[in-house]
């Protein structure tokens, strides 16, 4: 298959193949990512039904992040995403993650075995999330921000889906794991129906120099710093929003506070899919730095405000939660798109994997800090701590906008 020059229309057959492949990829991403946050939905149920400690609840979530970091380190060091067929890497990872999650339905929810299986699931996600972005980038033709935005939107909806299962499934935490596992297994099989795009450039060897360049290159470094500020907030917000909302609704005297919290958490996180799509559309038109700075400013403001709304009127909590859910993810894809545009074509997969590795390593800190800060300074202190990340990220992206290499972003829009 030949590659169309940038800016020229692609052949009709290529467009049809692109649309079909991207639809398959998006569906597979939703299915595979459903196992990621299944424990976040399970934690609230298990704490109510049989009780687990705060440390166990945190470990169930952070074990996935730790596994993801281990997986991305391995993948980046071996340049797996650039050296091998991304579809087969995705397939293997999704099948193993689905099998590990299925096992969770038959064991104690917060024991050592459960935490080990969540770690394994996280490792496998290193072969799903960045590999999916790599696969989407092979189809880019002046729409990279939108393509990765759609993929991040799929990730967001997949992450939200366990909260929907929790809202619908009552106290059946085993059913949440079982359904999420089935979705991942189906995704692992279906990904083979997806084609690789015409701009795929495969590396022939491990690229140590590419990893070093991610920090030595000023533009790449600033894009990665912006991403780190974004990640400091994102996954801690996703991990603890349901717990905060349940506490807030109970304080406000809402009946069935847990179920109401799960519904709103699903709505807030799933609304991020709209934010990811809108962020992609805007970034391709007005620039990646503009969108990332704007989104982080809004999400940081929501983080700073939300903790003070404990027990506040439901309409106010709902409004801030939905705005936060949209803005907290609207910029995410644009950091990845920036790396794809600033990197050499045969190192894109490796640098995307390295970027996500650093980001998720940071989430281990913020996720674990939240309950400790809540105990010391309450929810206002905990969520204000998260707000620091996006505000620092705004500074990094503002500096990137002034860098000469910003001309390479979004077709010269920066």
| Residue 288 scores a pLDDT above 70 | yes
Quote the pLDDT of residue 298. Answer: 98
Write down the pLDDT at residue 141.
79
247 falls within a domain: yes
Note the pLDDT of residue 175. Answer: 86
pLDDT value of position 258: 81
Q: Identify whether 131 is part of a domain.
A: yes
Domain holding 122: CATH number? Answer: 1.20.1250.20
Give a yes or no: residue 154 inside a domain: yes
Does 392 or 197 have the greater pLDDT score?
Answer: 392
Mean pLDDT of the chain: 86
Q: Once rounded to an integer, what is the mean pLDDT over residues 83-94?
A: 92
211 inside domain = no
The 10s digit of each residue's pLDDT in 34-72 is 888 777 677 767 777 777 787 888 788 788 888 988 998
The predicted model gives 9-20 an average pLDDT of 68
Domain that holds residue 72: 17-195+216-409
Q: Which of 90-104, 147-161, 253-267 has the highest mean pLDDT?
A: 90-104
Tell me what the mean pLDDT of segment 284-293 comes to.
95
**52 occurs within a structural domain:** yes
Q: What is the pLDDT of residue 8?
A: 38
Judge whether 209 lies within some domain.
Answer: no
Q: Give me the mean pLDDT over the 3-32 stretch.
A: 71
Q: What is the pLDDT of residue 257?
A: 87
pLDDT at 53: 80
| Overall domain count for the chain | 1
Residue 200 lies in a domain: no
Q: Residues with Cβ < 8 Å from 60, sequence gap 6 or more?
A: 39, 42, 43, 109, 110, 114, 115, 118
Q: Encode pLDDT of 142-185 as tens digits.
A: 788 888 888 888 777 766 766 676 666 555 788 889 988 999 99
Query: 342 or 44, which is more confident?
Result: 342
Residues of the chain above pLDDT 70, percent:
90
Domain-located, residue 2: no
């Amino acid at each position: 298959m030949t590659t169309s020059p940038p800016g020229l229309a692609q052949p009709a057959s290529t467009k049809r193949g692109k649309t079909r492949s991207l639809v398959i990829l998006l569906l597979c991403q939703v299915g595979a990512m459903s196992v990621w946050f299944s424990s976040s939905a399970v934690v609230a149920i298990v704490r109510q039904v049989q009780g687990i400690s705060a440390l166990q609840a945190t470990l169930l979530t952070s074990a996935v992040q730790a596994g993801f970091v281990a997986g991305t380190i391995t993948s980046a060091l071996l340049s797996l995403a650039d050296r091998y067929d991304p579809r087969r890497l995705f397939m293997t990872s999704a099948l193993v993650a689905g099998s590990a999650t299925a096992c969770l339905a038959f064991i104690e929810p917060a024991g050592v075995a459960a935490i080990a299986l969540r770690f394994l699931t996280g490792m496998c996600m290193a072969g799903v999330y960045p590999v999916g972005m790599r696969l989407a980038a092979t189809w880019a033709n002046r729409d990279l921000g939108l393509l990765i935005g759609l993929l991040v939107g799929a990730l967001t909806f997949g992450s939200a889906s366990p909260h929907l299962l929790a809202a619908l499934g009552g106290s059946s935490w085993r059913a949440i794991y079982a359904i999420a596992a089935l979705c991942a297994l189906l995704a692992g099989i279906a990904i083979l129906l997806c084609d690789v795009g015409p701009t795929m450039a495969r590396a022939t060897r491990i690229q140590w120099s590419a990893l070093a360049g991610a920090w030595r290159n000023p533009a790449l470094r600033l894009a990665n710093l912006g991403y780190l500020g974004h990640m400091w907030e994102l996954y801690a917000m996703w991990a603890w929003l349901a717990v905060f909302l349940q506490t807030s609704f109970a304080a406000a005297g809402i009946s069935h506070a847990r179920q109401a919290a799960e519904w709103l958490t699903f709505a807030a996180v799933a609304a991020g899919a709209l934010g990811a799509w809108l962020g992609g559309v805007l970034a391709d038109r007005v620039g990646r730095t503009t969108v990332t700075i704007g989104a982080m400013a809004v999400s940081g403001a929501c983080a700073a405000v939300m903790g003070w709304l404990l027990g506040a009127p439901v309409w106010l909590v709902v409004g801030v939660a939905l705005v936060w859910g949209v803005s907290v993810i609207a910029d995410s894809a644009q950091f990845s798109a920036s790396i794809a545009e600033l990197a050499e074509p045969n190192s894109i997969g490796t640098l995307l994997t390295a970027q996500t590795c650093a980001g998720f390593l940071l989430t281990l800190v913020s996720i674990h800090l939240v309950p400790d800060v809540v105990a010391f300074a309450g929810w206002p202190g905990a969520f204000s701590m998260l707000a620091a990340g996006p505000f620092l990220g705004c500074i990094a992206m503002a500096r990137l906008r002034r860098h000469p290499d910003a001309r390479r972003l979004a077709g010269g829009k920066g």
